[in-house]
Structures are given as structure tokens and as C-alpha cells.
Amino acid sequence: MISIVFVVVVLIASVASQCSFCGPYDVNAYNLPNYIGPKPFPFNSSSGYIEVDTTNQRYLYYWLIESQSGHPDTDPLVFWYQGGPGCSGLAGLFAEHGPFRVNENGQVVLAQFSWNSFANIVYLEQPCGVGF
């Protein structure tokens, strides 16, 4: 379990380091480390930072995963607010209900079942100062 947690942290750090404070960043199969699934992903996704405090330059990192239903424009939008000190808000994305899983070899694969089968999901790191 510890090695899977480490791989998830490294994956999240790698994806977040590619993002810009200037706006969204498109995430695809070519920039997600150790991803061995279909390229491109069978869904759209983007990530970036939302400025929440201009005085202190505080940002929240987000990753939007669109629905795979074929109708993301009309599907519900779910916000996932997991996280805090010691736990990434993206744990749900890679280890619980997101479209990715980390296998025993540290490779990222598509999950058999995911909430984004029928809903768009925004994974949000929070509060400011933790995660990315």
C-alpha cells in the first residue's frame, strides 16, 4: 500500500508541475507518467489553478474529468473536496472513484468502474497551502 501511495503522490506532483497559474492545462495520455491505457483518454480532462486570494497569491489546484457517457454537456457536475494535511485531494482520482488506478507495478491504468461514467467530476485540492 505504501508504494502505491508513493506512486500516486509522484503522479500528482508530475501533472501539477506542468500546470500554469495562467489558466487551464489540457491533460492527455502523453503527459501522465506511467499511463498504459488507450491514447488519448476516452474522455476529456483539463487541470489548472483557480486564484482564490489575490492579496496573498493563493491558488487551488483542480482537475476536471469529463463524463464518458457521450453527453458531458448535460451530465451532472460533481465537485470532490477531499484532502488536507497529509492527504492529497486527488486520492479519489487515483485510488477510489476516479477513472484511474495505480496497479501493483506502479502503472496507471483505466478503472473498470468510475464516477465519470455518468458525471463530470472536478477534483479540487483544498484548503490553500496543502497539496499543490
Dihedral (Cα; 125, 33, 37, 45), 10-degree rounding: 40
Contact 80, 122 (CB under 8 A): yes
b/e per residue, 13-25, with b = 16+ CB within 10 A? eebbeebeeeebb
Q: How confident is the model at residue 25 (pLDDT cuts 50, 70, 90)?
A: low
Given this model, what pLDDT does residue 70 score? Answer: 93
How many other CB atoms are found less than 10 A from the CB of residue 84? 13
pTM: 0.75
User: How far is 71 from 39, CA to CA, in rounded Å?
Assistant: 20
Dump pLDDT digits (tens) for 73-116. 999 999 998 776 667 778 888 989 999 999 999 999 999 999 99
The predicted structure's pLDDT at residue 122: 93
pLDDT digits (tens, 9 = 90+) for 41-83: 899 998 888 888 889 888 888 899 999 999 999 999 999 987 7
- Residues in Cβ contact with 125 at an 8 Å cutoff, skipping those fewer than 6 apart: 60, 61, 62, 83, 88, 89, 90, 131, 132
Whether pLDDT at 2 is above 80: no
For 43, the 3-state DSSP assignment is coil
The larger pLDDT score, comparing residue 18 to residue 51, is at: 51
